[in-house]
């Protein structure tokens, strides 16, 4: 959530940032924010003034009673009763203005970092680098949705029977590959000084608003309405919310957490060949890394996280590229996002497997996540997160890129986790 004072002090820069996102009615919404804030401040000023009057009258009443001026004291009491009514009305007005202001700020996305390129869609994203050699497969190469049937390792039909489309069943070596990747990703994160946490996979409404999934992604989340709880779309939500309404000391920064969870996304409207098989699921496994940092160190942390994810892809021997997302393709809460994509040699296209983002103060303002320095003053921290990694498309790329006529070779780094070298 944007800071109102930042909007006031940097109106043109904020407007330019929203225009870079192609955000509609930006200037009108920013003006509404300032108007509502003016209204809130005005009602608060009036309240403070009449409260001061009430305090002064209360002191006079006792003196008037001592002096025997009962009639004047009664008039003063009547005035304090009137003031109480006025204060109640101003409190209600102030609360309405604050709620209207918060609701409006929830609809405005984060401001892109200056390095974010302009653009309207994924076609305008900037390729930062490419790494690795694209494999040259044999003539009978198959996409992963055919390979999983051939080797009987993932069953989509069983998932449909049990739940519905987009909920696969992993079997035999397919299940072991899932477990191997999760353990490998967690072990690598621990080596990089992330602390492992195992959070709940259902969150309350406050948590959804805290990290920005609500109200922006409400239609994409599974909602358990009886208890008003949401199935998490990513471990970012519960892990970052560990620090909601928390003040940490500056020497605790950076805070680095990693967690594995299943993730749930409705993905309404998703269809077509580009989402076939493992390319897009309603339930999938993911290891997430989260950092809480000092504002001066957050972009350094973002580059470190990007390098860390690249290291995972290199160890898995997958060709990949890094994209800096343009303004029109960025997530609602992000100030700067890098996407990591692996090349699928059978599908002959790039598949996104990780996003690493810096949210600056956008999430921490919602969360009231602050830190206190040596000067004892509190300020908002910065929050970052990244997929390290999401499993479905990693599995798809491993299966497709390593297929041979004899079977599918597993990356060497996974051999000790799997207990086998080939499917």
pLDDT at residue 271, rounded to an integer: 55
Instruction: Kindly report, residue by residue over 301-354, the tens digit of the pLDDT.
Output: 999 999 999 999 999 999 999 999 999 999 999 999 999 999 999 999 999 999
User: Average pLDDT of 153-169?
Assistant: 97
User: Average pLDDT of 259-272?
Assistant: 81
- Residues 79 and 202 both lie in one domain: no
pLDDT at residue 275, rounded to an integer: 79
Distance of alpha carbon 423 from alpha carbon 415, whole angstroms: 12
- Residues 102 and 145 both lie in one domain: no
Q: Whole-number mean pLDDT of the chain?
A: 95
Query: 54, 81, 106: which is the final residue of a domain?
Result: 106
Distance of alpha carbon 7 from alpha carbon 362, whole angstroms: 13
Instruction: Kindly report, residue by residue over 354-375, the tens digit of the pLDDT.
Output: 999 999 999 999 999 999 988 8
Q: What is the 3-state secondary structure (H, E, C) of 316-349?
A: CCCCEEEEECCCCCCCCCCCEEEEEEEEECCCCE
Assigned domain for 81 exists: yes
Distance of alpha carbon 110 from alpha carbon 213, whole angstroms: 13
280 marked as binding residue: no
Instruction: Kindly report, residue by residue over 92-135, the tens digit of the pLDDT.
Output: 988 999 999 999 999 999 999 999 999 999 999 999 999 999 99
Token code pair at residue 411: 């990356």
CB-count burial class (<10 Å; 0-12, 13-18, 19+) for 236? buried
Assigned domain for 24 exists: yes
CB within 8 Å of 330: residues ≥ 6 apart: 21, 109, 112, 116, 336, 337
Using alpha carbons, select from 364, 381, 367 the residue that is nearest to residue 254.
Answer: 381
pTM of the predicted structure, to 2 decimals: 0.92
- Residues 100 and 128 both lie in one domain: no
User: Residue 73 maps to which CATH number?
Assistant: 1.10.287.40
267 marked as binding residue: yes
- Residues 132 and 76 both lie in one domain: no
239-268 burial, b if ≥16 CB within 10 A, otherwise e? bbbbbbebebeeeebbbbbbbbbebbbbee
- Residues 143 and 242 both lie in one domain: yes
Assigned domain for 113 exists: no
121 marked as binding residue: no
- Residues 142 and 78 both lie in one domain: no
Query: 106, 135, 164: which is the final residue of a domain?
Result: 106
Long-range contacts: 408-412, Cβ < 8 Å, 24+? 408/147, 408/151, 410/177, 411/315, 411/316, 411/317, 411/318, 412/317
Distance of alpha carbon 273 from alpha carbon 344, whole angstroms: 14
Assigned domain for 315 exists: yes
pLDDT at 237 over 70: yes
pLDDT at 174 over 80: yes
pLDDT at residue 268, rounded to an integer: 62
- Residues 140 and 193 both lie in one domain: yes
- Residues 162 and 251 both lie in one domain: yes
Using alpha carbons, select from 258, 198, 264 the residue that is nearest to residue 230.
Answer: 264
355 marked as binding residue: yes
Using alpha carbons, select from 34, 35, 30, 3 the residue that is nearest to residue 16.
Answer: 30
% the chain with pLDDT above 90: 84
Token code pair at residue 289: 């890394």
Instruction: Kindly report, residue by residue over 379-393, the tens digit of the pLDDT.
Output: 999 999 999 999 999
pLDDT at residue 272, rounded to an integer: 57
Q: What H or E segment, with its residue span, contains residue 89?
A: helix 70-106
47 marked as binding residue: no
pLDDT tier at 137, thresholds 50, 70, 90: very high
- Residues 45 and 153 both lie in one domain: no
- Residues 305 and 403 both lie in one domain: yes
Distance of alpha carbon 109 from alpha carbon 410, whole angstroms: 41
Edge to edge, the sheet with strand 382-390 lists 126-131, 320-324, 336-344, 349-360, 382-390, 283-293, 255-264, 195-196
Assigned domain for 112 exists: no
- Residues 137 and 270 both lie in one domain: yes
Assigned domain for 325 exists: yes
User: Residue 362 maps to which CATH number?
Assistant: 3.30.930.10
CB within 8 Å of 117: residues ≥ 6 apart: 124, 125, 126, 324, 326, 327
User: Average pLDDT of 212-218?
Assistant: 91
pLDDT at residue 273, rounded to an integer: 57
249 marked as binding residue: no
Assigned domain for 329 exists: yes
387 marked as binding residue: no
User: Average pLDDT of 46-70?
Assistant: 85
How many Cα atoms occupy the beta-carbon half-sphere of 315 within 13 Å?
Answer: 15
353 marked as binding residue: yes
Our count of domains for the chain comes to 2
Q: What H or E segment, with its residue span, contains residue 130?
A: strand 126-131
344 marked as binding residue: no
Query: 47, 73, 106: which is the final residue of a domain?
Result: 106
Which range has the worst mean pLDDT, 24-38, 58-72, 97-111, 126-140?
A: 58-72
Domain that holds residue 54: 4-106
Backbone angles phi, psi at 254, to 5 degrees: -80, 145
265 marked as binding residue: yes
Assigned domain for 193 exists: yes
- Residues 57 and 142 both lie in one domain: no
pLDDT at 269 over 60: no
């Amino acid at each position: 959530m944007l800071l109102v004072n930042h909007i006031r002090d940097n109106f043109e820069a904020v407007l330019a940032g929203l225009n870079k996102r192609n955000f509609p009615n930006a200037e009108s919404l920013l003006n509404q924010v300032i108007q509502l804030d003016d209204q809130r401040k005005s009602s608060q000023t009036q309240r403070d003034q009449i409260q001061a009057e009430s305090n002064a009258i209360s002191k006079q009443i006792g003196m008037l009673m001592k002096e025997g001026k009962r009639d004047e004291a009664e008039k003063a009491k009547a005035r304090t009763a009137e003031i109480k009514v006025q204060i109640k009305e101003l409190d209600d007005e102030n609360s309405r203005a604050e709620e209207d202001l918060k609701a409006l700020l929830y609809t405005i996305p984060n401001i892109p970092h200056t390095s974010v390129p302009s653009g309207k869609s994924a076609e305008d994203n900037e390729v930062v680098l490419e790494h690795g050699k694209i494999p040259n497969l044999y003539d009978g190469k198959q996409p992963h949705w055919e390979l999983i049937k051939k080797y009987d390792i993932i069953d989509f039909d069983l998932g449909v029977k049990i739940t519905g489309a987009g909920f696969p069943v992993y079997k035999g070596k397919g299940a072991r590959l899932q477990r191997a990747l999760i353990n490998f990703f967690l072990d690598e994160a621990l080596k990089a000084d992330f602390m492992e946490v195992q959070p709940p996979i259902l969150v309350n409404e406050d948590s959804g608003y805290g990290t920005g999934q609500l109200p922006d992604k409400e239609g994409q989340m599974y909602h358990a309405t009886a208890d008003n709880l949401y199935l998490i779309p990513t471990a970012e939500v519960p892990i970052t919310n560990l620090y909601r309404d928390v003040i940490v000391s500056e020497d605790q920064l950076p805070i680095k957490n990693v967690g594995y969870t299943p993730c749930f996304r409705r993905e309404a409207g998703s269809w077509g060949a580009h989402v076939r098989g493992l390319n897009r699921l309603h339930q999938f496994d993911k290891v997430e890394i989260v950092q809480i940092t000092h504002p001066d160190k957050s972009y350094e942390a973002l580059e470190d996280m990007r390098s860390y994810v690249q290291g995972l892809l290199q160890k898995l021997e997958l060709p990949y590229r890094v994209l800096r997302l343009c303004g029109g393709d960025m997530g609602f809460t992000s100030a700067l996002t890098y996407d990591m994509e692996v090349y699928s040699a059978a599908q002959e296209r790039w598949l996104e497997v990780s996003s690493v983002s810096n949210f600056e103060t956008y999430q921490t303002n919602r969360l009231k996540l602050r830190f206190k320095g040596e000067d004892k003053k509190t300020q908002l921290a910065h929050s970052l997160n990244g997929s390290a990694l999401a499993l479905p498309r990693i599995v798809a790329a491993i299966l497709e890129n390593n297929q041979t006529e004899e079977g599918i070779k597993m990356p060497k780094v996974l051999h000790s986790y799997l207990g086998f070298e080939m499917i």
